[in-house]
């Protein structure tokens, strides 16, 4: 193994031995001392920081003897997190996990332009113990919701809970369901959208359906709950329940646009004028059901969260249709 350092990053090179052959790429990279965890390895692979003989591979790739694994380890982030006493809508808490309902407008963790007022800042003031496997800048975080997506989330208070919950999400045994109001009339009662997602070229904030080598598999199922006839400024709406089988960035929003039924109020993937969106100031997307097996006690936990007032008011206004 060789490695080089500069002020920006660390590059690790490792030739796969016969004993190491056959491992999944994410498992092997996560075992390297410079990476330390499988979750970090997965993030590096998804960000194109891991190469096998100079080529990007997905995390499930099985490595072979003689292949050269190159890992570019980014420099440690120097974000200083400050606890902030921000009210949290907590639905369940014990020594290992917290289940809460995030309000629209709150960013989950600090990012450029959002260094304070985040869910992480609030969590640091609420709990002395939070899982650290996602790094010091994302304590307790297991999965995320977009800033303007509201609803249920689970947070880990210990490393073991964080690891087991992340594994459960990867193994698709955490049931996450969302309510979304989309433009247009969806005819079938149920459906599945199976379309890989990648970052849009030249835009760090947007994603798109794409089948390139850096695209990641993404599956969303939906069930129609209610349909609304077209109005003066719109072509009607459909209220659907979506279930995530993968957790890609903006997944439901991108998939909704892909099938021609973008989410009402979506500033990045939506359509129409303010009247067509009934003047909604954020995307109509709400995490309303969350079910999982407790990572330590093995108890099955189920939670439901009603639509917040802004979304329920829009639905109430459409009822006559």
DSSP string, 114-127: B-SS-HHHHHHHH-
pLDDT tens digit sequence for 191-204: 999 999 988 887 77
Q: How confident is the model at residue 156 (pLDDT cuts 50, 70, 90)?
A: very high
For residue 65, which of 134, 109, 17 has the smallest C-alpha distance? 17
Query: For residue 224, what are the CA distances in angstroms to 5, 106, 184, 255?
Result: 53, 28, 12, 15
**Among 31-35, 250-254, 289-293, which is the least confidently predicted range?**
31-35
Query: For residue 213, what are the CA distances in angstroms to 39, 48, 80?
Result: 20, 10, 35
**Strand order, beta sheet including 10-15:** 2-5, 10-15, 68-73, 50-52
Q: Report the alpha-carbon distance of residue 315 to residue 232 in Å, rounded.
A: 17
- Rounded percentage of the chain residues whose pLDDT exceeds 90: 64
| 20 CB-contact burial (10 Å; exposed 0-12 / middle 13-18 / buried 19+) | middle
Active site residues: 146
pLDDT tens digit sequence for 57-110: 888 899 999 999 999 988 765 557 889 999 999 999 999 999 999 999 999 988
Q: Report the alpha-carbon distance of residue 258 to residue 21 in Å, rounded.
A: 39
Residues 6+ apart with CB under 8 A from 243: 175, 176, 177, 178, 220, 221, 222
Q: Report the alpha-carbon distance of residue 42 to residue 30 in Å, rounded.
A: 8
CB of 264 closer than 8 Å to CB of 182 = yes
> Higher confidence at residue 78 or residue 23?
23
Question: Which phi and psi angles does 88 have, rounded to 5°?
Answer: -120, 140
pLDDT at 144: 92
pLDDT at 6: 45
Query: Is the confidence at residue 3, as pLDDT, over 70?
Result: no
- Please give the helix or strand (H or E) that residue 30 lies within, else none: helix 25-31
pLDDT at 78: 54
Buried b (16+ CB within 10 A) or exposed e, 32-65: beebebbbbbbbbbbeebbbbeeebbebebebee
This prediction's pTM:
0.79
Average pLDDT, the chain: 90
Q: Tokens 């903006």 appear where?
A: 250
CB of 292 closer than 8 Å to CB of 301 = yes
User: Torsion angle of alpha carbons 311, 313, 318, 319, nearest 10°?
Assistant: 110
| 115 CB-contact burial (10 Å; exposed 0-12 / middle 13-18 / buried 19+) | middle
Query: Is the confidence at residue 118, as pLDDT, over 90?
Result: yes
* Domains of the chain, first to last: 2-73 (3.10.290.10), 89-170 (3.30.2350.10), 175-318 (3.30.2350.10)
CB of 60 closer than 8 Å to CB of 25 = yes
pLDDT tens digit sequence for 238-256: 999 999 998 899 999 999 9
Q: How confident is the model at residue 182 (pLDDT cuts 50, 70, 90)?
A: very high
Q: How confident is the model at residue 232 (pLDDT cuts 50, 70, 90)?
A: confident
pLDDT at 77: 59
């Amino acid at each position: 193994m060789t490695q080089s350092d500069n002020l920006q990053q660390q590059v690790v090179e490792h030739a796969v031995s016969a004993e190491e052959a056959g491992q999944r790429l994410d498992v092997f990279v996560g075992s390297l001392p410079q990476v330390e965890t499988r979750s970090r390895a997965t993030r590096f692979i998804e960000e194109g920081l891991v190469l096998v003989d100079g080529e990007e591979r997905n995390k499930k790739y099985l490595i072979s003897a003689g292949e050269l694994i190159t890992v570019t380890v980014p420099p440690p982030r120097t974000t200083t997190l400050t606890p902030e006493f921000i009210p949290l809508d907590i639905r369940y808490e014990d020594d290992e996990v917290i289940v809460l309902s995030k309000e629209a407008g709150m960013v989950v963790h600090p990012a450029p332009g959002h260094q304070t007022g985040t869910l992480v800042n609030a969590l640091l003031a609420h709990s002395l113990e939070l899982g650290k496997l996602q790094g010091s800048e994302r304590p307790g975080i297991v999965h995320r919701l977009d800033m303007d997506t509201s609803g249920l989330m689970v947070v880990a208070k210990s490393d073991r809970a964080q690891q087991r919950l992340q594994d459960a999400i990867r193994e698709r045994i955490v049931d996450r369901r969302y309510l979304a109001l989309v433009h247009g009339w969806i005819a079938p009662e149920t459906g599945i959208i199976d379309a890989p997602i990648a970052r849009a070229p030249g835009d760090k904030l947007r994603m798109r359906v794409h089948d390139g080598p850096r695209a990641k598999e993404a599956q969303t199922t939906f069930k129609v709950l209610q349909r609304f006839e077209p109005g003066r400024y719109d072509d009607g709406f459909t209220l659907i329940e979506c279930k995530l089988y993968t957790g890609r960035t903006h997944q439901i929003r991108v998939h909704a646009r892909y099938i021609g039924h973008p989410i009402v109020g979506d500033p990045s993937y939506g359509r129409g004028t303010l009247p067509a969106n009934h003047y909604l100031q954020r995307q109509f997307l709400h995490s309303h059901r969350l079910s999982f097996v407790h990572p330590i006690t093995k108890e099955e936990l189920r939670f439901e969260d009603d639509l917040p007032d802004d979304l329920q008011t829009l639905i109430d206004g459409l009822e006559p249709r």
